[in-house]
Structure 1
Amino acid sequence: MQQKSESAEAEFMYQYEAAAPESLGVTAVRLAGGVALHMRHDPISYWSKALGFTETVTPELVERILDFYRSCDATTAVLQFAPHVLPDSFTDLAAEVGLEEAGSIVKLGCATSDVKIAKTDFRITRVAESDAAEWGEVILKSFGAPGTPLSEMVANSVSNPDFHGFAAWDGDTMVAGGNLLVHGDVGSINTGGTLPEYRGRGAQSALIAARAQAAHEAGCRWVVAETGVPEPGQSNRSLNNLRRAGLQDLYQRQDWRWTEKGL
Structure 2
Amino acid sequence: MNTLVPPSVAEQSEAEALFRFETAAPEPIRTALGMNATRIGGGVVLSMRNDPTRFWSKALGFGTTGPVTAELIHEVCDFYRAEGTPQAVLQIAPAFLPADWEAICESEGITAGSSWVKLVGTTEDVVARADALEMPPAGITVAPVEPDHAADWGTVLVRAFGMPEEHYAQLSASTATQPGWHPFAAWLDGEIVGTGTLHVHGDTAQMFAGAVLPHARNRGGQTALLAARARAARDLGCRFVVAETGTETPGTRNPSLHNMLRLGLQVAYERPNWNWQPLPEAA
TM-score bracket, normalised by the shorter chain, equals over 0.9
What is the CA–CA distance in structure 2 between the aligned matches of 1:43 and 1:136, rounded to whole Å? 18
| Secondary structure at 1:164 match in 2 | coil
Give the structure 2 partner of residue 196 of structure 1: 214
What is the CA–CA distance in structure 1 between the aligned matches of 2:58 and 2:23, rounded to whole Å? 13
How far 1:231 sits from its partner (Å)? 1.9
- Mapped contact 2:108–2:279 kept (Cα < 8 A): no
> 1:134 aligned to 2:152?
yes
- 1:116-148 deviation line (CA, Å, top 9, x unaligned): 214213111000111001001111111112422
Q: How does 1:97-116 map to 2 (within 5 A)?
A: 97-115=108-126, 116=129
What TM-score results when the alignment is normalised by the length of structure 2?
A: 0.90
Q: How does 1:232-251 map to 2 (within 5 A)?
A: 232-251=250-269
- Mapped contact 1:43–1:148 kept (Cα < 8 A): no
2:203 to 163, 182, 185: 185
Instruction: Give the aligned CA root-mean-square deviation in angstroms.
Output: 1.3
What is the CA–CA distance in structure 1 between the aligned matches of 2:19 and 2:220, rounded to whole Å? 29
- Which contiguous aligned blocks of 4+ residues in structure 1 show a shift greater than 3 angstroms? none
Give the structure 1 partner of residue 33 of structure 2: 24
Give the structure 2 partner of residue 44 of structure 1: 53
Runs of at least 5 residues in structure 1 that lack an aligned partner in the other structure = none
How far 1:254 sits from its partner (Å)? 1.3
Deviates more, 1:222-231 or 1:194-203: 222-231
Give the structure 2 partner of residue 62 of structure 1: 73
What TM-score results when the alignment is normalised by the length of structure 1?
A: 0.96
2:179 to 157, 161, 174: 161
Give the structure 2 partner of residue 143 of structure 1: 161
| Secondary structure at 2:183 match in 1 | strand
1:82 to 88, 93, 99: 93
Deviates more, 1:204-213 or 1:234-243: 234-243
How far 1:92 sits from its partner (Å)? 2.6
1:14 to 16, 19, 25: 19
- 1:219-245 deviation line (CA, Å, top 9, x unaligned): 110000001112211111211111111
Q: What percentage of aligned pairs have identical amino acids?
A: 43
Deviates more, 1:90-99 or 1:160-169: 90-99
What is the CA–CA distance in structure 2 between the aligned matches of 1:135 and 1:235, rounded to whole Å? 27
- Mapped contact 2:40–2:72 kept (Cα < 8 A): no
What is the CA–CA distance in structure 2 between the aligned matches of 1:164 and 1:43, rounded to whole Å? 28
- Mapped contact 1:137–1:146 kept (Cα < 8 A): no
- 1:76-128 deviation line (CA, Å, top 9, x unaligned): 11111112221222123212322100111110010001112142131110001
Structure 2 letter corresponding to 1:10: A
Runs of at least 5 residues in structure 2 that lack an aligned partner in the other structure = 1-5
Count residues with an aligned counterpart: 263
What is the CA–CA distance in structure 2 between the aligned matches of 1:131 and 1:31, rounded to whole Å? 36
What is the CA–CA distance in structure 1 between the aligned matches of 2:43 and 2:61, rounded to whole Å? 4
